[in-house]
Structure 1
């Protein structure tokens, strides 16, 4: 695959062999981290994290990844309120300025398409760390890496995607990566108000991926190799009343978790609210905290790929 300059969409990753290489690189990063054998391939390099929406895992994992590789970090945690954006500065001007200080920019923004617009004018790599209800490609890479580590394969899977499929940018990025592998079947489980947008359903049809839509977990969760649970995103609703109608439609408790196959896994990009009960955390199928840590190593591998 031709080397990428920017990471804007999961659809840029079209080669399973490249993904395998990236996952092996992430695994090597993890081994080196455990044995305190990490080198400093990015010494002297700087990553700027521009986050116009809240983040814990994504921002911290990017910053930790850069520092573990020997680089430095410039951070704007709440750039919507604590940057020159409050004075009316355009995102184009912000990118032009920050690219003079940093060797790469990870940006999270509330408007879909912002990362793509930034990449068009940036002389340094832009990494999409989430653009509204658009995409979150590095999370999808971490998700696929997690599935590979946990189950040992990426083909022949039955994957249940549960919850807010309308607004879930993690789901929007995960689908193109799942579509690269043969024998994958996807169950789309959501309230009708939060069903997967038509453009993504058409993409799955174009790629020949088998998928089914429904509103009930029964009969689906028992067959899943991966149950990927998503948060109903309160910040995307026009009113609290609309959110309250759907917020607790799916709650994975201990009883439901035990209905999964013994070797199945439960995933969630976090943060969770009510959709996975804390009692599930002790279940061996609960992979979401391991998933969060995997995000560190996949971002280390990606930063080294882009900058070393």
Structure 2
């Protein structure tokens, strides 16, 4: 049972518990109207200390489609955080009014702190460059639905692998399934952190390679996961400008890929995927965004323990 649990890290749930969420998401996708009153009388608090469109809207839409209600803030200046209130005090106060909370925060570990002081379920919607577990659920549901399996895949991750929390979470999650291989495509300055390389990949004897050119490896991939180079993670504007156009996926590169390779992206994109790629049937990133709402509906229902 997932009732009352927190989701801070993609490893918080067992594979069996993840399957519970995915199976419920499949049911919601098949017949969403059957779930329109599932969370009547329940309130979701959205605590966003950092800008977001997709994640916040996705959570809010998920709760509203389940028949629940939403309250919250979308920037810290509109909350008591502007007065210096701690995360611990905020979450204890919000728990007086809501049944479940979702938090995005620029500081790594902030949602974990919130969960330690909260009697209601807390969901991490992204903490700095650390984790983004519900994006990972979105990614896994998309792969499971489109590729029919979460095992035996060769996954290329391209772009900002150093600061990209979606990448870190996805590597951790897909490492738990059998016979997955990773191709890590990035400039030297944006390689994955040592702790991911050492503690997840090397420690578990998972096959991976690191390359700098997408063209060298795109023909070997079953999944290509694109990411943007994130301006907000850079201290030096010159470094950002130099690296932001390192990898752009266009129609010519897509010609080199397998016919059944799929392209994913957590969005928003800047210019790392050309608009011409949107017309390619292998482009799945907008389907991925929709699956995100369905998997969050399933997650909310499970954590609240509603029928």
Q: TM-score, normalised by structure 1?
A: 0.96
| Displacement over 2 Å in runs of 4+ | 1-4, 17-21, 36-39
> In structure 2, what is the Cα distance between the partners aligned to 1:37 and 1:82?
36
CA drift at 1:245 = 1.1
1:134 corresponds to 2:130: yes
> In structure 1, what is the Cα distance between the partners aligned to 2:302 and 2:266?
23
Is the Cα contact below 8 Å between 2:103 and 2:111 reproduced in 1?
Answer: yes
Q: Give a deviation string over 1:88-115, Cα, whole Å, max 9, x none.
A: 1111111111111100110000000000
Matches within 5 A, 1:1-308: 5-15=5-15, 17-33=16-32, 36-78=33-75, 80-202=76-198, 203-307=200-304, 308=306
CA drift at 1:30 = 1.2
Q: TM-score, normalised by structure 2?
A: 0.96
SS of 2:103's equivalent? Answer: strand
Unaligned runs of 5+ in 2: none
Unaligned runs of 5+ in 1: none
- Root-mean-square deviation (CA, aligned residues, Å) is 1.2
Is the Cα contact below 8 Å between 2:43 and 2:71 reproduced in 1?
Answer: yes
Is the Cα contact below 8 Å between 1:13 and 1:177 reproduced in 2?
Answer: no
CA drift at 1:276 = 0.3
Q: Give a deviation string over 1:187-213, Cα, whole Å, max 9, x none.
A: 111111110000011111122211111
Is the Cα contact below 8 Å between 1:191 and 1:215 reproduced in 2?
Answer: yes
Is the Cα contact below 8 Å between 2:2 and 2:303 reproduced in 1?
Answer: no
Is the Cα contact below 8 Å between 2:2 and 2:302 reproduced in 1?
Answer: no
Alpha carbons of structure 1 residues 270 and 299: separation in structure 2 relative to 1, 3 Å: same
CA drift at 1:3 = 5.9
> How many equivalent residue pairs?
304
